Amino acid sequence: MEKDILRLLSENGRITAAEIAERLDKSEDKIKNIIEKLESEGIIKGYKAIIGESDLPGNMVRAIIEVRIRPERDGGFNHIAERIGKFNEVVSLYLVSGGYDLQLEVQGDTLQDVAEFVSSKLATIDGVISTATHFLLKKYKESGLILHNEEEYERLKVTP
Amino acid sequence: MKDLKSPLRDKIATHILNLPKSGIRDFFELVNSMDDNVISLGIGEPDFVTPWNIREATIYSMEKGHTSYTSNLGTLSLRKEICRYLDNDYGLNFNPVNECIVTVGVSEALDLIIRALVNPGDEIIYHEPCYVSYAAEISMAGGIPVPVITREENDFALDPDDVEKAITPKTKAILLNFPCNPTGATLSVEQKEKIAEIAIKNDIVVITDEIYSELTYEDVTPSIATLPGMKERTVFLHGFSKAYAMTGFRIGYGCGPSELIDAMMNIHQYTMLCASIIAQEAAEEALKNGKKEMIMMRTEYHERRNVIVKGLNEAGLHCYKPKGSFYVFPRIADTGLSSNEFATRLLKEQNVAVVPGTAFGSCGEGFVRCAYAASMGDLHEAVKRIKKFIDSL
């Protein structure tokens, strides 16, 4: 049941315990308890809204940054990654396979802010070999959600 | 057809004139005359759009210029996929070369097998309440439709004893549809075994329309075609409309003994020729890469069922919890209204469309069909309005 609850919450973070209970045909109290447990165990880390890019507060600038790093003898990628992740500018951070190691999503008020962060903070970290910055121009889909409105098609109202 | 005044009426074949008018048709007109605020629980098709990978494969098929006829039976590659799927998921072994025919929707497959079997006066047993076309299909083929009533106290499952009583020397076949439209009923293994036993004992053919089989939420039981001695007398009908949200593609199929498939093919080749190649290629994609999305849709229907069954019961309508399809069939007799009055007044007073149970056979009186292939928001709102309506009575 934990799996079902996590699925429903990741589809809609605002679904209430009562609605989950109805869907899964279980009691509301039981669902509430499980959600609390998932939260306290840190399986659920938080809840956030998905916002279309033009509606970002203050029209913030976002960039995807590819970073190549030199792994450390003891810490591997983790030590540097954790250090980078502590910057508030970094919205998301992933270790990836392929031509580079870390993929960051960085957010700032202006283009200059992001550029400044990359040149003065990120690129200067010991172990960072190179960075490539891609400014985000338009979001089409995020967290499984298509962000533009598709024309609705009306079905017949009664069919056998 | 009764209001047709033209002299041409005399030209129309008597058995077509005598066909009963579909109860859904009237209701459809009424709903269409209403404004846009209607929430419809009257729609017997998925509210999901066909998964993108299937639509994309359809476009690709056209880009490649695949716009020709196909073999009468359907493309061999689709038949192979169908047979592989039935083997893996149903434990049914059919030879794609001569035991499988692709049709224009499962409706065509049903029409073919009935026409292939029926001599004038032959009886076909089917269960009511049922899909609107069964009795008409049998009549049009010159057969005699013999309804067996399924009852609420049995959760609308077909009682094998009732089947036995309906059998006469003229019985040619029995037509099953579980999970059932409109009741959502399913059959237990024991019920299937007993029906199989009756079919074997009386040497009758079983036609099993399993269009809703993927949409079974609890106690999945094997198809009657898998039971001992049944494969050789069962025609298994299925399609892509419900499980893959592909109603508009019109692809169904029939699998069974080669003699029967061949007889179906004889009619099909002269009437339909073949199903659309574009839709056949879409169906192939559905079988190859559609399972994940299909399971996602099933999970959603399952949860909607829980919500609507609870909601209707709380609103004051007794509603048993069906194990399959996307319909519930609540009892409305306790309101003192007939099915038709209930559906009409609910539509006019609260803007909610449900289908009167009588559209699915006269024994559907006292019930209405609610399809929960509608968004969760609509279901909640519909239940709220139904409660308001019942409280106002």
The closest CB to that of B44, out of A22, A23, A160, belongs to A160
The alpha carbon of residue A89 is apart from the nearest alpha carbon of chain B, in Å, by: 36
Query: Is residue B186 a contact partner of residue B221, using CB atoms and an 8 Å limit?
Result: yes
ipTM of the predicted structure? Answer: 0.79
CA distances from A113 to A57, A120, B230, B288, B376 (A): 16, 10, 74, 48, 43
What pLDDT sits at residue A53?
Answer: 65
Which of B10-19, B276-285, B351-360 is the least confident region?
B10-19
Closest chain B residue by Cα to residue A150:
B49
- The domain spans of chain A are 2-40, 53-138
Q: How confident is the model at residue B193 (pLDDT cuts 50, 70, 90)?
A: very high
pLDDT score of B28:
87
Q: Please report the pLDDT score of residue A55 as a whole number.
A: 59
The fraction of chain B above a pLDDT of 90, given in percent, is: 91
Of A23, A153, A158, the CB nearest to B306: A23
Q: Is the pLDDT of residue B299 over 60?
A: yes
Average pLDDT, chain A: 91
Counting other chains too, the contacts that B55-61 makes at CB distance below 8 Å and 24 or more residues apart are B55/B282, B57/B281, B57/B282, B57/B284, B57/B285, B58/B249, B58/B278, B58/B279, B58/B281, B58/B282, B58/B285, B61/B277, B61/B278, B61/B281, B61/B282
The architecture CATH gives domain A53-138: 2-Layer Sandwich (3.30)
Could you tell me how many CB contacts below 8 A there are between chain A and chain B? 51
Distance in Å, alpha carbon of B182 to nearest chain A alpha carbon: 9
Contact assessment for residue B357 and residue B21, using Cβ atoms and an 8 Å cutoff: no
Q: Is the pLDDT of residue A76 over 90?
A: no
Which whole number is the average pLDDT over B73-91? 98
Chain B residue set in contact with A, beta carbons under 8 Å: 22, 24, 27-28, 31-32, 38, 40, 42-45, 47, 49, 131-133, 181, 303-304, 306-307, 310-311, 353, 355, 359, 376
Q: Looking at chain A, which runs of residues are DSSP E strands?
A: 61-69, 90-95, 102-108, 128-135, 141-142, 145-146
Tell me the residues of A at the B interface, defined by beta carbons under 8 Å apart: 19, 22-25, 153, 155-160
